[in-house]
Structure 1
């Protein structure tokens, strides 16, 4: 088998950064009033700025596919002609612009510089970006592709706008009647961000500068034993099952806010750390590795609230990794879902700080139904 290397990384962020104070100017005020939960959520998640594919008055500036295409173009900005040599496009998102055609096909449609190539579209939530990356890694390692691109992008700002909440206020006043419902929806408004990232995966490292050798990518799901924690396009029933939007009338979709993204906050806090990071311990032991082998630890965090939870788990399980080895850009970029890990690695890769031989551990927990992806890279 061939080896596989990340040789280039690029990102795309729409418009200018949006501060905490400006958020509701872009997303709008629910019922014309400032959010009651905003200050609490922001204090816990630690985010100071994020990016929206929106103007200040809420008009859309970019589609999801357009942002992904811009990230892909960024890989080839120094050598635009190389884009014609791309032989795979693997695109992930949890927020496609449409149900059909696939997100990957729409991104490919925004890249006329490419040829007729293989396109795949892993779906999911935060782990989807890693699934897209693993597909690119595998086909290069098998020798089937020579210039594979994986990409992850999100555009969730449009479903966070105030008008997505107005139906409940006007018809049921549920935000007053059921404060928990208000929080499970409003909670995510202050977490999520828009943007895209892309990796170029090749069978040989760069002749100049650094590359990242892909040592391994491992994942696992606990959906066989855990109910859904974050969901969209469905409503959660008693007993934990999901009822699809397809099984609701148009009126019921509005009434139950079925197309909104929701988070079961209690379930999230109970499960997200202990399930996946116990699996990481197993993976590290099986591969004969310890945290002493790791130079940089890049965890995808939805909130800084979970940073200490992960750190505590590591300490309790003999996996302690000094905080100076941790890196996240959540404070400045927000939670960009499937694209977050791409954006973090892009900043580290292009920082000039990496030295050959150093190892980078990526960790992506996904609360949707508790899935996890881990990856080890070696600077070369």
Structure 2
């Protein structure tokens, strides 16, 4: 089999960074009042700025597919003619612009410089970006493709705007209940960000700069054991099952804000670190991975709240990953879902600090129904 290397990484961030005190200027005020949960959530998640593909008036500045295409084009900024050499496009998102056609072909539509090529669209949430990478990695490794691009992008800001919740708020007022949305719905508004990232995966390292050899990628799901924790386009019933938006009337879809993103916060806190990092323990044992050899540890964090939980797990289980080896840019980029790991790796890759032979461990948890992806890279 061939080897597979990440030879270039690029990202696209829309517009200017939005600081915490300007968020509601973009997302709006629910029921005309500032959020009660905003300060609490921001204090816990540690995010200082994020990016939105919209104006303060709510007008879209980019589509999701467009941002992905812009990140891909930036891979070839110094050699745009190479766009025609791409033989695979693997595009992931949890927030496509439409249900049909697939997100991947919509991205391809923004890339007229490319040829008629294979396009795939891994779905999911945070792990989807890693699924896109794994498809590209395997395609190159078995020799089917030579120049594959994987990308991940998110445009969630439109569904975070206050207007998405106003109908439900009015229903609550009519019923003389608390006019504020439940914490499970409100808290994700202060965490999510827009943007895109892209990797170029080839069967040979870049002769002019560093590359990252993909040693392995491994994933797992605990959906056979756990109910959904984060969901959209559905509602959770008392038995833990999800009821699809297709099974609600149009009026109920609006009244219950079915297309808002919801998070079972209690389930998240109990499960997200425990499940994933026990799996990492198993991978360490099965692959004979020496954690002392890891130079960079890149965990995708939805909130800095989980950083201490991961650190405690490592200490309790005698896993050596000193904090100086950790890297995240959550504070400056926000949680960009499937694209977060691309944002993180891009910053490390283009920092000028990597040395040949160093090893990078990527860990991506997904709370939707508790899935995880792990990847080991070697600088070459």
Q: Which residue of 2 aligns with 1:347?
A: 347
Q: Is the 8 A contact 1:185 1:263 kept in 2?
A: yes
User: 1:261-289 deviations in whole A, cap 9, x for unaligned?
Assistant: 10000000000000011001101111111
In the alignment, structure 1 residue 326 sits paired with structure 2 residue 331: no
**Residues 174 and 294 (structure 1 numbering): CA distance in 2 closer, same or farther, change over 3 Å?**
farther
1:310 aligns with 2:310: yes
TM-score (norm 2): 0.98
The whole-number CA distance in structure 2 between the counterparts of 1:279 and 1:30 is: 40
Which residue of the partner structure matches residue 265 of structure 2? 265
Match of 2:167 in 1: 167
Equivalence for 2:240: 240
Secondary structure of the corresponding residue to residue 192 of structure 1: coil
Partner of 2:215: 215
What's the CA shift for 1:15?
0.2
What TM-score comes out, normalization by structure 1 length?
A: 0.98
Aligned partner of residue 375 in structure 2, secondary structure? strand
Q: Which residue of 2 aligns with 1:84?
A: 84
Name whichever of 29-38 and 137-146 sits farther off. 29-38
| Aligned equivalents of 1:180, 1:25: Cα separation in 2 | 18
Q: Which residue of 2 aligns with 1:51?
A: 51
Q: Is the 8 A contact 2:170 2:179 kept in 1?
A: no
- Aligned equivalent of 1:201: 201
* Whole-Å separation in 2 of the counterparts to 1:304 and 1:14: 23
Offset at 1:211? 0.2
- Report what 2:365 is aligned to: 365
Over residues 91-128 of structure 1, what are the superposed CA-to-partner deviations in whole Å (9 max), with x where a residue is unaligned?
00000000000000000000000000000000000000
Can you list the C-alpha shifts for 1:106-157, whole angstroms capped at 9, x where unaligned? 0000000000000000000000000000000000000000000000000000
Mapped to 2, the partners of 1:372 and 1:80 lie a distance apart of 35
CA contact (8 A) 1:53 1:194 kept: yes
Paired with 1:169 and 1:279, the residues of 2 have a C-alpha distance of 41
Whether the 8 Å CA contact 1:168–1:175 is kept in 2: the answer is no
Q: Which residue of structure 1 lines up, in the alignment, with residue 33 of structure 2?
A: 33
Q: How many residues align?
A: 380
Gap change, CA 1:89 and 1:197, over 3 Å in 2: same
2:31 is paired with a residue of what secondary structure? helix
TM-aligned CA distance change 1:185 to 1:291, over 3 Å: same
Determine the C-alpha separation between the residues in 2 that align with 1:142 and 1:181.
50
Q: Distance in 1 between matches of 2:328 and 2:90?
A: 24
2:252 partner SS: helix
* Structure 1 alignment gaps of length 5 or more: none
Match of 1:151 in 2: 151
Alpha-carbon separation, structure 1, partners of 2:229 and 2:290 = 31
Structure-2 change in CA distance of 1:6 and 1:175 (3 Å)? farther
> Unmatched 5+ residue regions in structure 2?
none
Q: How many Å apart are 1:58 and its aligned residue?
A: 1.4
Q: CA RMSD in A?
A: 1.2
Question: 1:340 aligns to what SS in structure 2?
Answer: helix
Which residue is 1:281 aligned to? Answer: 281
Q: Distance in 2 between matches of 1:145 and 1:7?
A: 15
Distance 1:328-1:116 versus aligned 2 partners, 3 A rule: same
The 1:174/1:89 distance shift into structure 2, 3 A limit, reads farther
How far is 1:173 from its partner? Answer: 2.7
| 1:8 counterpart residue number | 8
CA–CA distance in 2 between the matches of 1:175 and 1:244? 25
The alignment partner of 2:182 has SS state of helix
C-alpha separation in 2, matches of 1:90 and 1:64: 15
State the Cα distance separating 1:257 from its structure 2 match: 1.4
Give yes or no for contact 1:153–1:338 (8 Å, CA) kept in 2.
yes
8 Å Cα contact 1:151/1:198 also seen in 2: yes
Contact 2:30 2:180 in 1 (8 A): no
How far is the alpha carbon of 1:254 from its aligned partner?
A: 1.1
In structure 2, distance between residues paired with 1:368 and 1:176: 32
> CA–CA distance in 1 between the matches of 2:176 and 2:12?
38
Aligned twin of 1:71? 71
8 Å contact kept, 1:233–1:245: yes
